[in-house]
Amino acid sequence: MIIGYARTSTADQEAGLEAQVRDLGAAGADKVFSEQVSATKKRSELDSAIDYLRDDDVLVVTKLDRLARSIRDLMEIVERIRSKGASLRILAMDLDTGSATGKLMLGILGSVAEFEREIMLERQREGIAKAKAEGKYKGRAPTARRKADDVLRLLGDGLTEAAVGEALGISRSSVQRIKRAGAA
């Protein structure tokens, strides 16, 4: 059986998710698991897809970056798939781990993808440092601190920390920080 897995990082990437599902269907996927979640978060549909695998099944993804966030993550996922008696196929690379060559290529390509990501992050850090030095980069605006007056007012009105956080769209820990700062 061919099992498909599609993922986008955010909910606003609906067209990308639909394209992946379409491509997985065209590749013969009998069942497709899909989700819209960052690769750094818990991917429950990926877990479900791997749990669904049986002997001789194939897990199919459109691209390597839809499956794993690092070479370590990739190798752990591949091992979970292998332990189920199944294999992995990546459409964009025409790669199948059912063969020795496919396993070798996956390791090499996964390492290259991780290297590219590290280079990109390094350039991003350099760009941010340069922008900070030039006074052009201020970082993300602290959204909770801008609501400090409202937080203190609502707490004074007798609302709980959780209720204040929910009312203002900030976390309870942010409410607690503002409360401590206001008491000081």
Measuring CA to CA, how many Å separate 77 from each of 28, 49, 164? 22, 11, 41
Task: Please indicate whether residue 38 is annotated as part of the active site.
Answer: no
* 1 CB-contact burial (10 Å; exposed 0-12 / middle 13-18 / buried 19+): middle
* Whole-angstrom distance, CA of residue 35 vs CA of residue 7: 5
* Whole-angstrom distance, CA of residue 56 vs CA of residue 52: 12
Contact criterion met (CB below 8 Å) for 39 and 76: no
Residue 81: CB atoms within 10 Å: 21
First to last CA, the chain: 63
- Strands of the sheet containing 87-90, edge to edge, are 31-36, 2-8, 58-61, 87-90, 95-96
Active site residue: 9, 70, 83, 174, which one? Answer: 9
Q: Could you give the residue numbers annotated as active site?
A: 9
